[in-house]
Chain A
Amino acid sequence: MKPAPFELHRPSDTALAARMTGGGDGTIKPVAGGQSLGPMLNLRLTRPAGLVDITALPGLTDLRETATHVEIGAAVTHARIEDGACPEPIAGMLRHVAGGIAYRAVRNRGTIGGSLCHADPAADWITALTALGASVVATGGTGTTREIPMTEFMLGAYRTALRPDEIATAIRIPRHSPGARWGYHKICRKVGEFADAIAAFVADPQTRVCRAVFGSTGGAPLVSPVLAAHAARTGTPADLAMVKAELGRSGLSLGAVKIHQLAVAHRRAVAEALSDG
């Protein structure tokens, strides 16, 4: 089906783009690749009055590196990251995550910032970047910017901490030390489909930072300091019963099958990260 009619804006000024989206009472949506929004538009589940294409904004397709961080423009495509165009904040993890998103034809247009702001609970970047301790750089309608840590960015399914007149412009990822380990495992019924369960694990012995994160839980990713600490201290994943007990205590509405899938994904991600092979 054809989307309902909309106006397409392609501003070249970030603050102006932010004011455009803020002025529409939710009827004007920013779009940065449209690979999630596009199907919703075609199904007419969403009927915005206008779209603001942010891919032409200055700096949004840039990849930058500082002494402490890697900064990825919000409109950088998954495929560019998959192909290794991006500096690596931790060896290999971004490429691995990017290459597992949907299909190549989708990755050629879908963007890292678009995926984060769409905030689908089953999306890969939401979970992976939480495990990496990343933050989202947002620019408001007055041109001021602020940084939102990933742990505070996603509020629930399709809800983020962005204000109506804010646009995510970049993602900042702290650089990990060369000995840092990571694991990322997702369980999908079919390659490229929405994941049933996602687990990400990052452990950096040098900075002693360690994070275990669960995705596709129905809302914001679940961070488990208890399971992260267990893996860091023992060098092995917690046993299945312990992971399930932790998930049961999370306060989330998770069925037995979902808990099992998440627990298996976590154990595989940790084992993959900590194996010496």
Chain B
Amino acid sequence: MAETIRLTVNGEACTATVPARTQLAEVLRDHLDLTGTHLACEQGVCGACTVMVNGRPVRSCITYAHSCDGAVIETIEGHRGDPVMDRLRDAFSRHHALQCGFCTPGMLATARDIVARFDAPDEATIRHELSGNLCRCTGYVGIVNAIRDVIDQRAADAGGAARPAPAEPVGRPAFTPFEPVAPDPAPARAAAATSGPRVTEEDGATVVRRDFALAHPPEAVWALFSDPRRVAPCIPGATLDSIDGDRFEGAVEIRFGPIRARFGGQGSFLNDDSRREGAITGRGDDKLGKSRVQGDLRYAIEPGTDAGTSRARIELRFEIEGMLAQFNRPELVAGFVDYILGQFAANCDAVLAGGDAAPSRGVSALAMLWAVLKAWTRRR
């Protein structure tokens, strides 16, 4: 499995024999002892691990070592004989552009790239370009000043007047309004079950509300919903392992794009046959992904608009912790919920018509939500 790669790091040829999953940062730090490359977020956000690969800054935490086979790499320990980097190091000291120094190796790699790519950037441009490198103690004033200083030194070397005059705004021919040709036919889009937002944040929990139609009368639909053994197979990705009174154990497996998670757990259910309302409360762990979720699902079955049909109203409320929580984003939930509920409703109709639910592909309502939802509160 492990294969040998060749790298030129800070001017020296070296090899590393590492498995495919090894990140470039790991080879630098753990195999070559170049611990100046810092790892923090390990998801490409903070910029601390930025190093130069073939002259371009890259995130070494999301760049596989094997994809760098043959590459020329410069880390903070390198850049020997590079007058621009010498000036940047000096300017960072003079402008007090670091305190703890954790972000500095990545800052210097990005700073080196800014100096190389821009002739005379203004402060806004420098700040924009620095936005992928986070500093949590010094602040950016000193860092920006250090970069400007080095750019000004270069301009002075070139005779002092290197800043080009701002380009004259170029007028363009006036826009002539026109009657557009018929647009491309838009692909049919499933109408939303209800209008307005159905994913909200309430008391720290994510709440999803939906309703959807079923082509069978309320008595039959309720008989299905209130029987965990029958309804579980209709939930894409769900399996029920055991039922004891009002307690159950089971699992739900989700597939959402590249995301895979399997939440195993237990919970309880409570059904009110006279009102055709019920609730399931549960909690589960995704052991491989180190995430935990807990929540409850309330459901009610009402007569539909046409005789012999039903309307199911659901409210799902959940909280998630762990790795998935770092990732999820609420705007992705609505589309996923519609997709899953479409499958769930089709499965319920199929079962009620005497057939079977479609074979599970491991996609589930009760879980992707967790996948994509919550990180936004944490990230923003």
A189 touches B380 (CB 8 A): yes
A6 touches B62 (CB 8 A): no
Say whether B197 faces chain A, with CB atoms less than 8 Å apart.
yes
Tell me which of A60-68, A139-147, A156-164 binds B. Answer: A156-164
B132 touches A276 (CB 8 A): no
B335 touches A219 (CB 8 A): yes
Interface residues of A in 1-17 (CB under 8 A from B): 1-8
Q: From DSSP, what is the main secondary structure of chain A's interface residues?
A: loop
Among residues of B, the one whose C-beta sits closest to the C-beta of A276 is: B174
Say whether B99 faces chain A, with CB atoms less than 8 Å apart.
no
**Contact A106/B132 with A121-B332, A210-B180 known, Cβ cut-off 8 Å:** yes
In the bound complex, CA of A210 to CA of B117 (Å): 35
Say whether A168 faces chain B, with CB atoms less than 8 Å apart.
no
Say whether B136 faces chain A, with CB atoms less than 8 Å apart.
no
In the bound complex, CA of A143 to CA of B339 (Å): 31
A233 touches B67 (CB 8 A): no
- Give min CB distance, A195 to chain B, whole Å: 10
In the bound complex, CA of A222 to CA of B219 (Å): 39
Among residues of B, the one whose C-beta sits closest to the C-beta of A249 is: B195
B131 touches A191 (CB 8 A): yes
**Contact A218/B132 with A4-B288, A104-B110, A205-B175 known, Cβ cut-off 8 Å:** no
Say whether B354 faces chain A, with CB atoms less than 8 Å apart.
no
Among residues of A, the one whose C-beta sits closest to the C-beta of B177 is: A235
Tell me which of B7-15, B52-60, B221-229, B232-240 binds A. Answer: B52-60
A118 touches B177 (CB 8 A): no
In the bound complex, CA of A121 to CA of B132 (Å): 21
Given the complex, which residues of B lie within 8 Å of A19, measured CB to CB?
A: none
Say whether B269 faces chain A, with CB atoms less than 8 Å apart.
no
Interface residues of A in 224-277 (CB under 8 A from B): 225, 228-229, 232-235, 248, 251-256, 258, 274, 276-277
Interface residues of B in 254-283 (CB under 8 A from A): 255-261
Counting contact residues on chain A (CB < 8 A from B), the size range is 35 or more
Interface residues of B in 37-81 (CB under 8 A from A): 42-45, 47, 50, 53, 56-59, 61-64, 66-67
- Give min CB distance, B256 to chain A, whole Å: 6
**Contact A156/B336 with A105-B50, A229-B180, A232-B179 known, Cβ cut-off 8 Å:** yes
**Contact A133/B184 with A48-B258, A109-B63, A192-B132 known, Cβ cut-off 8 Å:** yes
Given the complex, which residues of B lie within 8 Å of A179, measured CB to CB?
A: 173
Say whether A59 faces chain B, with CB atoms less than 8 Å apart.
no
Given the complex, which residues of B lie within 8 Å of A233, measured CB to CB?
A: 177-180
- Give min CB distance, A60 to chain B, whole Å: 14
In the bound complex, CA of A258 to CA of B200 (Å): 12
Say whether A149 faces chain B, with CB atoms less than 8 Å apart.
yes
B113 touches A104 (CB 8 A): yes
- Give min CB distance, B143 to chain A, whole Å: 15
Interface residues of B in 157-211 (CB under 8 A from A): 169, 171-181, 183-184, 186-187, 189-192, 195-200
Contact of A253 among B113, B174, B197, B289 (CB under 8 A): B197
Interface residues of A in 136-178 (CB under 8 A from B): 149, 151-152, 156-159
B189 touches A251 (CB 8 A): yes
In the bound complex, CA of A194 to CA of B379 (Å): 11
Query: Interface digits, B323-337 against A, CB 8 Å rule (1 contact, 0 not)?
Result: 110110101111110
- Give min CB distance, B76 to chain A, whole Å: 15
Among residues of B, the one whose C-beta sits closest to the C-beta of A195 is: B331
Contact of B183 among A191, A218, A225 (CB under 8 A): A225
Among residues of A, the one whose C-beta sits closest to the C-beta of B372 is: A157
Given the complex, which residues of A lie within 8 Å of B173, measured CB to CB?
A: 179, 276
Say whether B101 faces chain A, with CB atoms less than 8 Å apart.
no
- Give min CB distance, B284 to chain A, whole Å: 16
Say whether B338 faces chain A, with CB atoms less than 8 Å apart.
yes
Say whether B378 faces chain A, with CB atoms less than 8 Å apart.
no
Given the complex, which residues of B lie within 8 Å of A46, measured CB to CB?
A: 258-260
Query: Interface digits, A41-54 against B, CB 8 Å rule (1 contact, 0 not)?
Result: 11111111001010
Interface residues of A in 111-152 (CB under 8 A from B): 118-119, 121-122, 133, 149, 151-152
B181 touches A208 (CB 8 A): yes
Among residues of B, the one whose C-beta sits closest to the C-beta of A257 is: B197
In the bound complex, CA of A149 to CA of B57 (Å): 34
Cβ contacts A to B, 29 pairs, < 8 Å: A4-B288, A8-B64, A34-B62, A34-B64, A42-B43, A42-B62, A43-B324, A44-B288, A45-B259, A45-B324, A45-B327, A46-B259, A47-B289, A103-B132, A104-B129, A108-B58, A151-B184, A158-B256, A158-B332, A190-B131, A192-B132, A208-B178, A208-B180, A228-B180, A253-B198, A253-B199, A255-B196, A276-B174, A277-B169
- Return the 3 tightest CB-CB contacts between A and B, nearest first: A158-B257, A103-B132, A38-B62
**B interface residues, Cβ below 8 angstroms from A:** 1, 19-21, 23, 26, 42-45, 47, 50, 53, 56-59, 61-64, 66-67, 109-110, 113, 117, 128-129, 131-133, 169, 171-181, 183-184, 186-187, 189-192, 195-200, 255-261, 288-290, 323-324, 326-327, 329, 331-336, 338-339, 371-372, 379-380
Additional A-B contacts beyond A29-B258, A105-B110 (20; CB < 8 A): A4-B288, A34-B67, A38-B64, A41-B21, A45-B327, A46-B258, A79-B56, A102-B44, A105-B56, A106-B44, A159-B257, A191-B128, A205-B176, A217-B331, A218-B333, A223-B186, A228-B183, A233-B177, A251-B190, A254-B197
**A interface residues, Cβ below 8 angstroms from B:** 1-8, 26, 29, 34-35, 37-48, 51, 53, 55, 79, 102-106, 108-109, 118-119, 121-122, 133, 149, 151-152, 156-159, 179, 181, 189-194, 196, 203, 205, 207-211, 216-219, 223, 225, 228-229, 232-235, 248, 251-256, 258, 274, 276-277
